[in-house]
Amino acid sequence: MSKSIIIRLILILCPFAAMSQETKIQLTENVTVVFPEKPISRNMQDVGVQHTLKLADSTANFYALATNLEKSSGMTADVLEAAQQESAFWQQLEQSFVAQVSSDASVLSSEVKQISGRQVLHLIISGTRNGKKLEITVYIFIDGVHTVNIVHQKRSEEASADLKNNYFASLQIGNK
């Protein structure tokens, strides 16, 4: 009798254990990030792939996106490398991203920092979408011909800071 109870418990708990497993995603040849759970991946007309995880409790969303700028706009790695040396490049990236958030978006924090020897734009933005307040933290950087966005969207005050911090800490950027 006790064996059947144990087996039932295992069968009940196994799907939940599988759902909450971290998933490492290879964004480019040199870039990986670990999602807290398995994301949904969507091909974007052969110029990139977007990975999305919306937590079941609706407290936060996680996104990772790598877009091939050579395929989408003809920009080469050399052109992108040179552009990164100009402060205007980072300002344009910031303005472009903020404009996509919402009409009332405001930048709470903006800095270009070094991660694994790469320049990374780190933004924290607040705004509203569909009447709900949200806070977005993003890393934006260039890897060869790819622009890479690592995004956390806080949708509730109950959002786990640990999940967010672990997500960004999991970012691995290899050699160029």
Amino acid at 113: K
According to the model, what pLDDT value does residue 4 have? Answer: 52
Give domain status of residue 119, yes or no. yes
Give domain status of residue 6, yes or no. no
Residue 20's pLDDT band (cuts 50, 70, 90)? low
Give domain status of residue 46, yes or no. yes
Cα distances (Å, whole numbers) of residue 71 to 4, 11, 144? 57, 46, 12
Give domain status of residue 86, yes or no. yes
What span, in angstroms and rounded, lies between the C-alpha atoms of 148 and 138?
Answer: 10
In percent, the amount of the chain with pLDDT more than 90 equals 67
Amino acid at 114: Q
Enumerate residues 6+ apart whose C-beta is below 8 A from 4: none
User: Could you tell me which of 17, 49, 19 has the C-alpha nearest to residue 33?
Assistant: 49
Counted domains in the chain:
1
Amino acid at 147: T
Rounded mean pLDDT of the chain?
Answer: 87
Q: What is the CATH number of the domain that holds 133?
A: 3.40.1000.10
Q: Using an 8 Å Cβ cutoff, are 65 and 50 in contact?
A: yes
Residue where the block lists tokens 């790598």: 66
Q: Using an 8 Å Cβ cutoff, are 35 and 62 in contact?
A: yes
Residue 168's pLDDT band (cuts 50, 70, 90)? very high
Q: Look at the chain and count its residues.
A: 176
Integer-rounded Cα radius of gyration of the chain: 19
Q: Using an 8 Å Cβ cutoff, are 70 and 145 in contact?
A: yes
Greater model confidence, 4 or 57: 57
Give domain status of residue 4, yes or no. no
Q: What range defines the domain where residue 117 resides? A: 22-173
Give the model confidence (pLDDT) of 6-16 as tens digits: 444 444 444 44
Give domain status of residue 124, yes or no. yes
Give domain status of residue 99, yes or no. yes
According to the model, what pLDDT value does residue 2 have? Answer: 53
User: Is the overall model pTM greater than 0.95, yes or no?
Assistant: no
Give domain status of residue 134, yes or no. yes
